């Protein structure tokens, strides 16, 4: 097995006075999409935010490409190698284009290059015709596509997705999931994907991690996790019995 491009070792996180993430090891390789699945309050978002360097760690280290965050690499330098998309689009005032190019602008890239990099991504995500539209006039699906474009434009080495399709209606969600699976296949980056939906995890992920009460219970391919749960709790969480029947 290749060495993980992003490697977290023994990371734990305290939130609101309790240990929300138990000491955890987690790795993801380039080209791999890892789904994090678990019940509400399992610590999925905490794990993702910790991996993305957006929460202070209680213990442990995070390495990207062999460089340790906070020792060999500043927080800013780390964030300029990754991108994150959340459940809400979290767009800023302005147009679709303004939002899509924002990360590039923050890196000091000139406008000509920004335009050259943004246009193909807007086309891939089928929102090129909306480039000049103010964000207040977008539908939920269009806003989330803009948020995805803003992340993909950066060509990140690691992409973090926190239930990016959860707030969308079912048809939009299915369509976006399918399109996004194709994009991930083409782009070959390391992706960490928090989801509440096992079908979504199966469609997008090579690996699936089952999380409960801040601990990883099982780590394997979506088929393995579904068909061969290692514990009764995993079976309960995935509803393995239902899937098998």
What does the binding site for other proteins look like in residue numbers (CB under 8 A)?
A: 49, 52, 54, 76, 79-80, 82-84, 86, 88, 90, 92-94, 102-103, 106-107, 134-137, 150, 154, 160
> Residue 84 CB, nearest distance to other proteins (Å)?
4
Closer by beta carbon to other proteins, 73 or else 234: 73
How far apart CA 32 and CA 89 sit, in angstroms, is 24
- For other proteins, give the closer residue by CB, 5 or 160: 160
Tokens of 133: 């539209």
Total residue count of the chain as it appears in this document? 245
User: Of 78 and 203, which has the nearer Cβ to other proteins?
Assistant: 78
Minimal distance, residue 188 CB to other proteins, in Å: 21
Q: In angstroms, rounded to a whole number, what is the distance separating the alpha carbons of residues 205 and 191?
A: 9
If the CB atoms of residues 32 and 162 are measured against other proteins, the closer one turns out to be 162
Helix (H, G, I), strand (E, B) or coil at 211: strand
**Cα 222 to Cα 243: distance, rounded to the nearest angstrom:** 12
Find the shortest distance in angstroms from Cβ 94 to other proteins.
Answer: 6
- Cβ atoms of 26 and 57 closer than 8 Å: no
Tell me the closest approach of the beta carbon of residue 129 to other proteins, in angstroms. 18
Residue 5 vs 78, nearer CB to other proteins: 78
DSSP 117-142: HHHHHHHHTT-GGGTTSBGGG--HHH
Count other C-beta atoms under 10 Å from residue 186's C-beta. 7
Q: Residue 160 Cβ, how far from other proteins at the closest point, in Å? A: 7
């Amino acid at each position: 097995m290749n060495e993980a491009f992003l490697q977290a070792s023994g990371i734990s996180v305290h939130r609101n006075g309790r240990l929300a993430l138990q000491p955890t090891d987690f790795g993801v390789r380039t080209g791999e999409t890892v789904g994090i699945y678990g019940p509400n309050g399992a610590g999925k978002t905490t794990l993702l935010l910790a991996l993305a360097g957006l929460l202070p760690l209680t213990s442990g280290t995070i390495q990207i490409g062999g460089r340790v965050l906070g020792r060999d690499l500043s927080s800013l330098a780390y964030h300029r190698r990754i991108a994150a998309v959340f459940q809400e689009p979290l767009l800023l005032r302005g147009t679709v284009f303004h939002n899509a190019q924002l990360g590039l602008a923050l890196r000091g890239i000139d406008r000509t290059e920004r335009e050259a990099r943004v246009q193909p991504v807007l086309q891939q995500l089928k929102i090129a015709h909306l480039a000049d539209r103010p964000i207040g006039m977008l539908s939920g699906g269009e806003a989330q596509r803009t948020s995805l474009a803003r992340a993909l434009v950066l060509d990140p080495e690691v992409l973090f997705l926190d239930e990016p399709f959860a707030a969308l209606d079912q048809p939009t969600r299915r369509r976006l999931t399918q399109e996004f699976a194709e994009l991930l296949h083409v782009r070959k980056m390391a992706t960490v994907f928090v989801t509440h939906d096992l079908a979504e995890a199966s469609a997008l992920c090579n690996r699936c991690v089952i999380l409960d009460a801040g601990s990883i219970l099982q780590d394997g391919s979506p088929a393995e996790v579904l068909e061969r749960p290692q514990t009764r709790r995993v079976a309960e969480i995935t509803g393995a019995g239902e899937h098998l029947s």
